[in-house]
Structure 1
Amino acid sequence: MSTHLLHHRLPWALCLAGLIALGGCKSDPETAKAAAAPADDGGSASLSVELVKPQARALQRRLVASGAIAAQEEMLLGVELSGVRVAEVLVDVGENVRKGQVLLRLDTRTLASDQRQADAAVAEAEAALAVAQRNNQRMGALREKGLISARDADEMWGAATQATARLASAKAQREAVALRLSFAELRAPDDGAISRRDVQPGQVVSSGAELLRLIRQSRLEWRGNLPEAELIRVEEGTSVIVNSPDGSQAQARVRRIATAVDSASRTGVVYASLADPGKLRAGMFAQGELLLGETPALLLPLAAVVQRDGHSYVFRVGEQQRVTRQRVEIGRVDGSQIEIVSGLAADQAVVARGAGFLSEGDRVRIVPAQSGTAAP
């Protein structure tokens, strides 16, 4: 091959080699990036983080307990007559009633007959008394004239006295019959709501048997069970938030605290009156929060605290932007924040988010708090 031909083909060969090298670089971008990345003796930052300091503010002290909804005062209603048939029941479960309202009536036919007999006995006694009194007056006049003996006059006076006593007895019997007749109507002893009905028309009832139940004044209460250590922290008048099964809340206030605890469970009961029960009903089971007042606290976001090995930790950023794990004691949770009881000072900043991705000694990059959430 001549020297002239060699010099003519050499530029084309160099161009072809350059194209092949360029194509190889384009097909492996990761290799190119790795080759172009500068060496870092300390290692690159694995996570961009924000720092946050504990927030000092007042936090409500709460005790959470479960308990039953019950009537504050429930009255068991019955009649004072035995062997009498129920004529009609005028109320049903859930109805609100007023004091003195008739709730049920008994069959009064037998009692009405007794009432008529008592009236007749009183009339008969009144007539007998009138006759005895007139005879006694006549005998008194004759005795003054000496026309009858003292013995006859005394007998006539005694007859008038007996007639007076018989009339009083007849009236007392009539009043007893009238009282029994009044028992034929069961009336509400106070305002309230009917919570139970165990009687039907036609039923023969007995004295003292429970026929109806009345929640007096329709007042309900929450009865929360608390361990003895927490029971002593509650005082009368403490506010309570009772959570309904549908998610709504009702306000209550502690009116009474049990004076003794159960010897087996070591728990006691607090009785909290519900101002407006809403959808709560007697017999329901609900959770309540007792508000014991506000106290100062240090709060961190929940995402800043991690649980490992059964303990709570936060991460602080030290030299060369490496994180150090620091153990803390946590307390109450308030929404998206948690109380730090001990282990962290108010001026110490910690990683706000992404702490769950960190380990002791990891290097991080700190970004301003307003930059948004840190991402690994």
Structure 2
Amino acid sequence: MINDSSRKRKFKYRSMGVIALLTAAAVLASACSAPGAKGAATVSLAPKAVKTEVIKKQKISNPIEQVADVAAGTTLDVVSKANGEVMNVVKKRGEYVEKGEVLFTIDNKDALSAQRKNELALKTAQESLQQAKDNKVNNRKDMADNVTKAQTALTNAQQDYNKMRNDFDAGTAVQHQVDQMKQALDSAQMNLEAAQSKLSAFDNSDSISSAQTQAESASLALEDATRSLENYEVKAPGSGVLTDFNVVVGQTISAAAGKVGQVQQIDPIKIKTELTETNYQLVKGKQELVYYNPDTPDKKGTAKISYLAPIMSAASKTYTLELEVPNSDHQLQPGSRFMVQLTTETEEQVVAIPTLSVIREESDTFVFVEQGDQYVKRKVKLGRISGEFQEVIDGVKDGEKLVTSGQNTLKDGQKVESASASPAASATPAAK
């Protein structure tokens, strides 16, 4: 029974095959015997016609962007140079302060007392100095008068001596009298020389230097006391936002404790980010970049590049980028985040060609361009893809004619005329 069933199935399949062949033959016969038909035609597909387009620049993508942090341009520490109890707090954390504004005051009673003592010491020293100057003037005047008197006495002694010599020559005076007059003249001469020597020594001495030194020392001490008194008013070291500031009335402040707050300067303010090697190459050599707040993308600004690290950080493997932004209206605040455009709209307008125009041969890519009366095969270096177009980094330029269709039928250097002839469909007559 099994053999009978197998034979029946084989017969059935063989019969179906014969029927199919007969049906196909019938259809072919009817086609050949159709009215007006002289024979069947076998159609061969024609190659695509060669078409060209002018290469143009077009937008390949939006500008490349990166998130950046808004940071203070400079951060200055608020420190106290005095010790004591806080008497008054003028500013609060988060307020904008101007350079030199008082932030808080410290009890300055001891400093005021020290200043007053130094004022009195300076006054005393100045009085002593003035007295020394007056004494110097008076003493010099006395010495100068003594010199004048000695000169007059010497003149008189000289005249008396001369007269006595005349009398001695006339025989009216004796030698003893002449000798007395000579001694008086010598004595007057020595008195004059002594007076002159004292005056010269006085002029060469500085009788007021000690008093002058004391006065200058007292003046410096007063300046120190006054400057120290100013330290009891702790002022903002710069203009900016006051942060990390928690001073309260009654608190004891110590100069050795270090900073009690910070002032973050926000005009100008900085926008900072870290660049990878690839993005670093996009920014290198530029002077400014576009930035914007992601909440208001339509409002964009341009900022100067204030710093671009020349070498990669060994720790982060990135390059630090800083932009400097004027911020006179204080709209930009530290801690917020902005977007920085590493490329411009213009840079994103690149030479691009249809992806289907590219011929790929192993790892290389080529296109055909119409150059004069020939089609020339060019090797191209491709970049980014946008839809049906791909960026061309090297190989062709805008304005050239690119073969966009039929490039697979061309040969390098083929004449334009020979390729422009459209091949007709060929027909093979059927046997009668």
User: TM-score, with normalisation over the residues of structure 1?
Assistant: 0.57
Higher fraction of strand: 1
Q: Would the alpha carbon gap of residues 161 and 272 (structure 1) be closer, same or farther in structure 2, given more than 3 Å must change?
A: closer
Alignment of 1:194-205 (within 5 A): 194-201=242-249, 202-205=251-254
Deviation of 1:116 after TM superposition, in Å, equals 0.2
Q: Would the alpha carbon gap of residues 76 and 255 (structure 1) be closer, same or farther in structure 2, given more than 3 Å must change?
A: same
Q: 1:289 aligns with which of 341, 348, 354?
A: 341
Aligned residues: 261
**Cα distance in 1, alignment partners of residues 246 and 234 from structure 2:** 14
**What's the counterpart of residue 172 of structure 1?**
220
Q: Would the alpha carbon gap of residues 236 and 192 (structure 1) be closer, same or farther in structure 2, given more than 3 Å must change?
A: farther
Q: SS in structure 1 opposite 2:140?
A: helix
Alignment of 1:271-310 (within 5 A): 271-275=322-326, 281-294=333-346, 295-296=349-350
**What's the counterpart of residue 265 of structure 1?**
316
Q: SS in structure 2 opposite 1:200?
A: coil
Q: 2:234 aligns with which of 167, 186, 205?
A: 186
Q: SS in structure 2 opposite 1:291?
A: coil
* Identical aligned residues as a percent: 17
Contact residue 71 and residue 282 of structure 1 kept, 8 A: yes
Alignment of 1:219-230 (within 5 A): 219-230=268-279
**Cα distance in 2, alignment partners of residues 241 and 128 from structure 1:** 69
Deviation of 1:133 after TM superposition, in Å, equals 2.8
Return the letter of the residue paired with 1:85.
Answer: E
Deviation of 1:86 after TM superposition, in Å, equals 2.9
Q: Would the alpha carbon gap of residues 332 and 91 (structure 1) be closer, same or farther in structure 2, given more than 3 Å must change?
A: farther
**Cα distance in 2, alignment partners of residues 239 and 134 from structure 1:** 73
**Cα distance in 2, alignment partners of residues 231 and 111 from structure 1:** 56
Deviation of 1:107 after TM superposition, in Å, equals 1.9
Q: Which runs of no fewer than 5 residues in structure 1 stay unpaired?
A: 1-52, 301-328, 349-376
Residues 273-325 of structure 1: CA deviation (Å, up to 9, x unaligned): 3456987532345543323342236599xxxxxxxxxxxxxxxxxxxxxxxxx
Deviation of 1:59 after TM superposition, in Å, equals 5.0
Return the index of the structure with the highest Cα Rg. Answer: 2
Q: Would the alpha carbon gap of residues 244 and 199 (structure 1) be closer, same or farther in structure 2, given more than 3 Å must change?
A: farther
**What's the counterpart of residue 389 of structure 2?**
340
Return the letter of the residue paired with 1:238.
Answer: E
Q: Which runs of no fewer than 5 residues in structure 2 stay unpaired?
A: 1-52, 148-190, 355-381, 393-401, 406-432
**Cα distance in 2, alignment partners of residues 250 and 195 from structure 1:** 28
**What's the counterpart of residue 307 of structure 2?**
256
Return the letter of the residue paired with 1:211.
Answer: V
Q: Would the alpha carbon gap of residues 130 and 275 (structure 1) be closer, same or farther in structure 2, given more than 3 Å must change?
A: closer
Residues 188-226 of structure 1: CA deviation (Å, up to 9, x unaligned): 344332233243332313158222322225332221211
Q: Does 1:134 align with 2:134?
A: yes
Contact residue 86 and residue 105 of structure 2 kept, 8 A: yes
Cα RMSD between the aligned structures? 4.0
